């Protein structure tokens, strides 16, 4: 594909696998499992659990095209719990995603969420995956211009990272059926906010259909190898 100048890219050009990365945000036990601390603390994880098979399938498609895949993982500990961070949680040390805990591990119900050896992992201590991490360096080193934002929670870590990405001059695509939060109101507010100010809000099937047409992959294919 011969690309137009970047400011004139079509959607098809914007999500060209050569310069697109999938960012999978915080698919960890504490945020996704009914045995995780988010659920135990009373948060409704129903939307997250309904979203996870869609994201697992979309991740399989991305891997089939050899997209750059980057996983972010929240990790909290005494080394990152500043007074401001403690105040944010009511003065308590949050039990969610604690260092070396089961809850901080990848969501065990879906093996797709365990990073592969060639996929990069960002350990983060704040909502945005760019804060005090090497995410920007990794994106630049791989020549990435577009980020596909997925994961949990839509209105917190996903949105914070998406906003940051735009302000660092990346094209942002929120894959709205592959991210979830704790209420429909919060989900829809973030989708609208991203669409109006920070990027595009697009369902995964639209992205897969573009790839299927442009790169001749089967949109129903559920394998892990690229189509020859």
Beta-ladder partners of 173: 148, 200
CA distances from 4 to 1, 8, 20, 171 (A): 9, 6, 16, 15
26, 54, 62, 179: which is the annotated catalytic residue? 26
CA distances from 146 to 25, 56, 155, 193, 213 (A): 16, 20, 20, 18, 19
Cβ burial of 213 (10 Å; 0-12, 13-18, 19+) is exposed
Q: How is residue 1 written in tokens?
A: 């594909």
Let me know if 81 is a catalytic residue. no
62, 157, 178, 179: which is the annotated catalytic residue? 157
Let me know if 44 is a catalytic residue. no
CA distances from 112 to 5, 52, 55, 71, 136 (A): 35, 10, 9, 11, 24
The CA distance from 189 to 195, in Å, is: 10
Q: Let me know the angle formed at the C-alpha of 13 by 214 and 160, rounded to the nearest 5 degrees.
A: 120
16, 32, 54, 124: which is the annotated catalytic residue? 124
**Residue 118: closest CA among 30, 217, 215, 22:** 22
Would you name the residues annotated as active-site residues? 26, 124, 157
């Amino acid at each position: 594909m011969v690309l137009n100048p970047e400011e004139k890219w079509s959607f098809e050009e914007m999500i060209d696998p050569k310069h697109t990365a999938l960012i999978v945000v915080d698919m960890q036990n504490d945020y996704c499992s009914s045995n995780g601390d988010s659920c135990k603390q009373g948060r409704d994880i129903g939307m997250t659990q309904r979203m996870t098979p869609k994201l697992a399938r979309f991740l399989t498609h991305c891997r089939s095209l050899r997209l750059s895949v980057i996983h972010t993982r929240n990790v909290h500990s005494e080394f990152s719990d500043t007074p401001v961070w403690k105040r944010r949680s009511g003065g308590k040390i949050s039990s969610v995603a604690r260092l070396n805990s089961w809850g901080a591990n990848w969501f065990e119900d879906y093996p797709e969420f365990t990073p592969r050896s060639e996929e990069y992992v960002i350990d983060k201590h704040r909502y945005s995956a760019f804060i005090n991490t090497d995410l920007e360096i990794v994106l630049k080193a791989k020549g990435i211009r577009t980020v596909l934002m997925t994961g949990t929670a839509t209105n917190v870590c996903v949105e914070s990272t998406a906003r940051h990405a735009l302000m660092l001059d990346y094209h942002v695509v929120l894959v709205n059926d592959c991210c979830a939060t704790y209420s429909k109101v919060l989900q829809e507010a973030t989708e609208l906010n991203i669409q109006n100010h920070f990027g595009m809000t697009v369902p995964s099937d639209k992205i897969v259909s573009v790839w299927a047409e442009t790169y001749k992959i089967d949109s129903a294919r559920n394998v892990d190898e690229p189509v020859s």
